Amino acid sequence: MKKVAWCPFLLIIILSVVLASCTQANYTDILVTKVFDGDTLWLTNGEKVRLIGIDTPEMYESDKLHRDVQRTGEDIETLIAMGRESYKFTKKLVEGRKVMLEFDVEKRDKYGRLLAYVFIPNRQLFLNAEILKQGYAEVMIIPPNLKYGDYFQGLYQEARENKRGLWSNNQ
């Protein structure tokens, strides 16, 4: 009789462990199938990834584009052109390549996208950092994902000072 009482409890524990291991995706060697914009990617498993710590200009009409116009003082056409430049840069680096994802405290944003630091192992490249370093993004640190915040800020400042990427014709 005591064995029967333990069976449902044991079954629940076993199922919990099995389900947990099945739902944890492997993000150490996954293909980027499409670059959506300068800071958003699609993976071969259908997941959409938002690069943590960076913000590239928008390529399409959106509320964010209008907020960026107000914030930066740039006109819509200029920001869209900058967004396209960022997109092309990111696409050249990562589309069709296998990547490794590293997560911070929050793994998903309010839209359900994975929030990740993306590494391209065969090129020994930290994608988020490279986009900043080459001047194709601004820093956007949103707590609690602060892991590389200071590092990113330094790369951004260096890109602006050296007029790289989007900053080559600006301030």
Position 19 scores a pLDDT of: 39
Per-residue model confidence as pLDDT tens digits over 103-124: 999 999 999 999 999 999 988 9
The reply to whether 131 falls in a domain is yes
Per-residue model confidence as pLDDT tens digits over 64-105: 999 999 998 899 999 999 999 999 999 999 999 999 999 999
Instruction: Tell me which of 59 and 4 has the higher pLDDT.
Output: 59
Q: Is 50 a catalytic residue?
A: yes
The reply to whether 16 falls in a domain is no
Position 25 scores a pLDDT of: 60
Residue 20 pLDDT greater than 60, yes or no: no
Of 50, 85, 130, 138, which is the active-site residue? Answer: 50
Strand (E) or helix (H) holding 96: none
Cα(27)–Cα(134) distance, rounded to whole angstroms? 25
Cα(143)–Cα(68) distance, rounded to whole angstroms? 20
Q: Is 113 a catalytic residue?
A: yes
Q: Is 71 a catalytic residue?
A: no
The reply to whether 20 falls in a domain is no
Provide the domain count of the chain.
1
Residue range(s) defining the domain that contains residue 103 = 26-168
Of 58, 85, 130, 138, which is the active-site residue? Answer: 58
> CATH number for the domain including 109?
2.40.50.90
The reply to whether 88 falls in a domain is yes
Q: Which residues make Cβ contacts (< 8 Å) with residue 102, sequence separation at least 6?
A: 116, 117, 118, 119
Nearest to 139 by CA among 59, 8, 42, 39: 39
Per-residue model confidence as pLDDT tens digits over 146-166: 999 999 999 999 999 999 999
For residue 164, what are the CA distances in angstroms to 16, 20, 26, 86, 104? 50, 44, 35, 12, 28
* Residue pair 53/117 in contact by the 8 Å Cβ criterion: yes
The reply to whether 118 falls in a domain is yes
The reply to whether 11 falls in a domain is no
For residue 93, what are the CA distances in angstroms to 1, 39, 49, 136? 63, 12, 15, 12
Peptide bond into 144 cis (omega under 30): yes
Of 85, 113, 130, 138, which is the active-site residue? Answer: 113
Whether pTM exceeds 0.85: no
The reply to whether 14 falls in a domain is no
